[in-house]
Amino acid sequence: MRRSKSVADMRTPMDLIIKRHPEKKKQIRKYMEKWNKRTTGGQQWPKEGTFDPTCCDEMEAVIKHHKPKDKSDIREGKRIRENESERFRYRQRRWIARKREQDATAQSNPRTVGLQADAPTRERSGVEGRAKKVRRKVSRCTVKTRQLRARKNALPIRNPEKRKNQPQC
């Protein structure tokens, strides 16, 4: 199969598609980045050298049929899925960054590493050293159910000495 000279000069699918659609240069670059995020392996757009022609054709079809103001149900569904996957990737990156940051601070903090004996201690005095009692807020329903359960499970006389003095039947 012989290709034309202009196609042979093109190294990447992006160059080839830009040659065919010069007015959509920015859009083609944006789609190439999206394509590389979505796909793995042989279907990714290479930066140099040869490429898979089917990948190029698929990408060209995506660019050709893209309508930015398309409000059809199918397009809306696709847009929602794309946004969800991008949000998921963003959250994953943030989570990984937080974990790395926590690991870095844990290694620098001797108390978390296990060197508590070497760490300087501070003496507490007065009110500072006392633990504060924290009262939890409990809803009325929870209090009522606890009271009912206590009544249901309670013995008639809780004190064992009083139980001995009670006459037996």
Whether the Cβ atoms of residue 106 and residue 112 lie closer than 8 Å to each other? yes
| 54 found inside a domain | yes
Residues ≥6 apart with Cβ < 8 Å to 71: none
| 98 found inside a domain | no
pTM value?
Answer: 0.28
Greater pLDDT, 150 or 168: 150
Residues ≥6 apart with Cβ < 8 Å to 10: 16, 19
144-150: average pLDDT: 75
| 136 found inside a domain | no
Per residue in 46-70, pLDDT tens? 555 555 666 667 777 776 666 666 6
> Which residue range is the domain that position 11 belongs to?
5-64
Total structural domains within the chain: 1
| 147 found inside a domain | no
| 58 found inside a domain | yes
**pLDDT value for 43:** 59
Residues ≥6 apart with Cβ < 8 Å to 24: 18, 63
| 156 found inside a domain | no
Torsion angle defined by CA atoms of residues 143, 148, 149 and 151, in that order, rounded to the nearest 10 degrees: 120
Greater pLDDT, 50 or 146: 146
| 44 found inside a domain | yes
| 56 found inside a domain | yes
Q: In this structure, is the dihedral angle defined by the CA atoms of residues 38, 43, 48 and 54, taken in order, positive or negative?
A: negative
Percentage of the chain lying above the pLDDT 90 cut: 0
CA distance 54 to 46: 13
Lowest mean pLDDT among 8-17, 32-41, 105-114: 105-114
